[in-house]
Structure 1
């Protein structure tokens, strides 16, 4: 089967086009295709098909549409496993070659990678094939599919534009400036304030031997930018003009800077103070502090450590912050998951991944990790880069990955406070504010549903201890069961005997998240955590010594290790607190 969403919705089987009748049924198929290979919760399907006011029978209607889709696809010779029912909703399973969206993304990425490896001919081939899949605006025959689908369609248009711009770069490198001019004029007309496209037009005209036209194109672009935005053109467009004035044809616009951040968290709530602090730190590091004497040409990398207990949302915060700070780091953003909690990756492996993200040919990556670290420091020296290193195990794993000179910000997350690593800033992340925890629940389970049961929503957030992982699990379960009453779920969560069982859905589990930290401890610390889980609260040095049956000095050292791993929280100089969820896991392990 061939599914097409890069234009009007189309389905083509072995015998030709497959007619999908009914606007609601077509809307359901379109939403599933935009999330191909991933379960789509019923709540999201309802919001997409009826963005304004869903009927009371919405869930029943969706089941009817699913049945009709299965019948239509089966009549075209398709497999029954195509459209599967999942715990939280439905999933449409497609192979990469069956959906034009997935083919576009793969071809575009292949093209960008070819440009990084200085292979413009291969890049032009892949990017041309990627853009050839487009037949218009994504799902242009299905307007009004809700905010989520609309945002995805808008993002796809940006990906198309980026691919078109990268294709121009590749063809300029190949000397195809003459053939490019008509298309470039059209691109400039489509987005006249896009300075990169304007610079490409100046470049193509200069390469064609039309210096006067190139300078006139620059002047026209400058007038527009000054009139519309009140600022002078940026360095890319100015460099194109200077190259023409110097008597040569400017080089093609540089390839994209690395954009390695994972998908932006779709539901990020709260943490305004932390984001503001990170913004202030980043502005200082990047030389955007407002000091006119700060050109950003000197300086050194700064490391910010975000630590916290299991499930507190460190990784989500780091990725959200990465997107929040992209404008301060124009040379790119890099991301690496260090898997420090479960199976720490080696520095050599991580450096190889980072070097290739920076455009290093795999054949040119050194074998030894020391040589890789030296090459990495050379490549990032003098650049404004954001490097997000998620789930670090310790200083030994991190040290080889840290840049030297330059304007880089390194944002590290870890369950440990990493006392063996010298950092510029240490931010310890706690649970959400109660109002933000309720807002996060509403963003997943539905605003109207939470507002209709404020007392139960407050009880659910409290039982989850305002922990983002727990809140997301509960929200996902509610989204997958539209008929589940919030007071009933609140009552089950308040029952300590069943709370951990309730806080699990799919691959997400509060118990598993805490156990990962528990299993990373040494045997003495594990035994201490089990014992302290039965102690009266708050825990004091005397309590720890009595419960553990060891001298106070030894008890203090064990408590200090548990604090370092964010499994105990200092209340003051004498007292420590253990969260209820962690206490439940500790008691389970004792039994």
Structure 2
């Protein structure tokens, strides 16, 4: 889907809102007049943040930077209302949505010129990475052409003008970027005039001056290039008293010395379609950089700071430079007291300055039914730190060891929210004093050694009034000060209860505070059998709940069925069976009264939502009281059917169709097509981001008896599990689905899950378990005459046979699988079988047969755009060429595949390809290049702590060094490899390493 972004033109015709120049709104037939002054400022701010929430306080500061009048909020509301009316009258397809605590402008992605500009700049970066320099330059030129003058010129706001100046600077940076690209494309003589004009307008920009010098130099005008440098040097000296920067000085020296480095870079050769004679330039051999995760949720806008507590926590986390123990703080307190908000606020305050290597965050959901285990949390953290899924160990202890190793030399903050007990926390503690851990829990966790404990209490009167004022306005609090104090006393200073009550007041400006105190007091008397803290929360929730409209109350109840840390808005449509294009609109009334939190914005512009656990439990109680089992089951079925619908579409976009996966008969509910289209621009990324929700949906379906949906969603998610190495999630979801299908006697579902578990065991290198699952599945599929299921099982059983050297049996199974895939029209399944069986033919020396199968597989992969399959088949083609002795062609093919896996950030694939290239270089006696490739492969393996893979590369490198006579270094590598092989039970590799070690001379002859 990314290519859709890269090939779409800059759609000037679709732009409605323009901020890249004077503020302008273009309706279908005429330009919409926006009155100067307040409306201009408000619209400009909303457009600069299109699709994001703008706090009313920010609008107040922009319109009245000195002091806002008492009627300021009312005037803002009036301005927004007039903007809405102007849009409606002019036929402009946009809306300004009220969303506590402010407003957001919702419109199409292509309707705001600033968003179009930003998207085109991002697309150009992708094009540059893919080597498509001319297209990248063209894209940037079109993006810069969107400017019609200085950004937001004429808008009466100093703050917005400052923002506009930053955007004007981005425009100049984009210009300099496309000039640099075009210079490298050999267009220097065409650019001299354009750059000269730009330099005249911006004489102090050294990058432009350097580009003009380079353009002149490459046009044979060296003297003029040097004159440009001297003029710039004089100008800088006169204006600023400075000398030119280092880059400009080096460029002058290079021109004076006619440095060959100034010549045009070589143009990459075109890539041919066939793997036999590819033409690919050698890629640089470089590992990925260190991962720096920043996982903190957003800070709370109306957070009330308790400075003494903040200082206590920060001192315990940061400590002095000589601290020798881990900084560990536990924030404890009752539900709704503000533990998570405080932890998030502290983490943001310390952030990059104190913990520059990143922040890890995990909601452990200690009081929920879906508590996160230490093992799962470690898996998440290891992936965030750059460890690919297949390399992550299976046991909790091994994961904890790897985690501590990665954090040993880093300054990182770990936030563990809502912990259940000490056992959940202990494996997640780093071993280094350079890190710190911040824990929230309803328990004090007294068994955590060395922890500083902070127990939160309710807000005092001053803090509570401050919080109330931030939600409903300080003026309103001051006007009814006694009633405000009584309200604070009534809710007991509990922050969550106060926010809920305040949100209802904010939504009803005509209510006075005294009436709310009276209502809440009556509600408390009705619930006087409850304990004080619970009574306060229940009273606040009941009062707000009963004030909602009937449809909103129903949605609140049904929305509690949605599980997961955060939930997308389309689920509201599924629960109500409402197919409106913007289903999140249904949730706005619940957000307005703070019964639901809008916590993030998706790439589609839609919000993501989260219940506070206390509110979720309340909503579940209401669900049990008001909605029967049939209603709950139907809503759950639609919701899970929605997850399955999107997951199937994601799979189809990755594989080019519904290939290599079985489909069941469960009900699908389809979210809005336009929403899904935007959501799946990167389908694997969407699957990854929604992994917790998708896994919970499988388990929820199993629990609800929706066995067909459960197995179908579980097996569809293998697309994600296999790509990311989520073996824990793979096994857990499939075991739940397997139990559900067995309870229901669903034989096809049982077989589908068993077959998928067989694939998982194969990936985990558990051959006995894999054969057992696959054989059981094969028998059921055979009885059901399910050709697709039979093909999937035979493909994996053939791989098992191939791995133990039973090549004849493997080829028979491969032939049967390819035939059945062909019969059911699964072109990718067939191509995968051909790629795997080609390896057997290559190993037997039948390279012509192997190449024939690979050619067919490549054609199939390319026909549907399945890039992962193409990369795998090309790698095999490179190995075939190496086996034939066609080293140059093998190098070109494998280099192309290396570029492909690097673009997809497949670090494991990168390690394999670097090792393969080392084999090519070694076979063609290019020993230094072989050594470099093996060394890079070793670096990759060590980075991801793949001990077994690193030992294999050490053996390769030791073998190379042995043959070129560097015996001492070879011996050291063999010693390390032997130790790993012995510890990991890699017997064949151990024998090879010991054999080579015995052949080493007792002393290095070169040392004599």
CA contact (8 A) 1:46 1:58 kept: yes
Partner Cα distance (1:156, 1:341) in 2 = 49
1:514 equivalent in structure 2: 614
The alpha-carbon distance between structure 1 residues 43 and 515, as it changes in their structure 2 partners (threshold 3 A), is: closer
* Alignment partner of 1:311 out of 332, 336, 343: 336
Shift of residue 184 of structure 1?
11
Give the counterpart of 2:106 among 82, 93, 111: 93
For residues 308 and 337 of structure 2, the distance between their equivalents in structure 1, rounded to whole angstroms, comes to 16
Deviations 1:410-444 (A, max 9, x none): 11112233356445222111111211111111122
Deviation at 1:30, TM superposition (A): 3.5
* Structure 1 residue 462, shift from structure 2 partner: 1.1
Are positions 1:82 and 2:87 aligned together?
A: no
**Is the contact between residue 300 and residue 408 of structure 1 (CA under 8 Å) also seen in structure 2?**
no
Q: Is residue 325 from structure 1 mapped to residue 409 from structure 2 by the alignment?
A: no
SS in 1 for 2:500: helix
Deviations 1:157-181 (A, max 9, x none): 69x99x989x99xx99xx99x9996
Residue 276 of structure 1 corresponds to which residue in structure 2?
A: 311
Between stretches 409-418 and 333-342, larger displacement belongs to: 333-342
Q: How big is the alpha-carbon RMSD for the aligned residues of Structure 1 and Structure 2?
A: 5.5
Cα deviation code 1:117-154 (max 9, x no counterpart): xx797999799899968989875643449xxxx59987
Alignment of 1:351-390 (within 5 A): 351-358=378-385, 360=386, 362=388, 366=392, 368=394, 370=396, 372-390=399-417
Matches within 5 A, 1:96-245: 96=109, 98-99=111-112, 141-144=154-157, 182=207
Check 1:331–1:421 CA distance in 2 against 1; reply closer, same or farther (3 A cut): same
Shift, 1:53, TM fit:
6.5
Count of matched residue pairs: 445
User: Compared with structure 1, are the counterparts of its residues 281 and 258 closer, same or farther at alpha carbon in structure 2 (3 Å cutoff)?
Assistant: same
More helix per residue = 2
8 Å contact 2:318–2:436 — kept in the other structure? no
Query: Secondary structure of the residue that 1:82 maps to in structure 2?
Result: strand
Q: Structure 2 CA distance, aligned partners of 1:53 and 1:486?
A: 25
Deviation at 1:406, TM superposition (A): 4.2
Q: Which residue of 2 aligns with 1:480?
A: 507
Alpha-carbon separation, structure 1, partners of 2:97 and 2:469: 27
Partners in 2 of 1:208 and 1:352 — Cα distance? 52
C-alpha distance 64-140 of structure 1, shift in aligned 2 (>3 A): same
Find the partner of 2:367 among 324, 330, 341.
341
SS at match of 2:455: strand
CA contact (8 A) 1:305 1:413 kept: yes
For the 8 Å contact 2:316–2:328, the answer to whether it is kept is: no
> Partner of 1:93: helix, strand, or coil?
strand
SS at match of 2:303: coil
Please list the CA deviations of residues 4-42 of structure 1 after superposition, one character each: whole Å capped at 9, or x if unmatched.
Answer: 557754445667865434433333434444564467687
Distance 2:248 2:378 in 1: 37
What corresponds to 2:295 in structure 1? 260
Q: TM-score, normalised by structure 1?
A: 0.58
Please give the per-residue CA displacement for 1:317-340, whole angstroms capped at 9, x wherever unaligned: 112111222322233333333333
Q: Given that residues 326 and 434 in structure 2 are in contact (C-alpha distance below 8 angstroms), is that contact kept between their aligned partners in structure 1?
A: yes
- Computing the radius of gyration from Cα coordinates, the structure with the larger value is 2
Secondary structure, in 3 states, of the residue corresponding to 2:519? helix
Q: Secondary structure at the match of 1:339?
A: coil
Q: 1:434 touches 1:466 (CA, 8 Å); kept in 2?
A: yes
**Corresponding residue SS for 2:492:** coil
| Cα-to-partner distance string for 1:496-525 (whole Å, 9 max, x where unaligned) | 1464433567253499743667999xxxxx
In the alignment, which residue of structure 2 is the partner of 1:553? none
CA distance in 1, matches of 2:132, 2:366: 37
In structure 2, the CA distance between the partners of 1:181 and 1:56, relative to structure 1 (3 Å rule), is: closer
Q: Is 2:419 aligned against 1:395? A: no
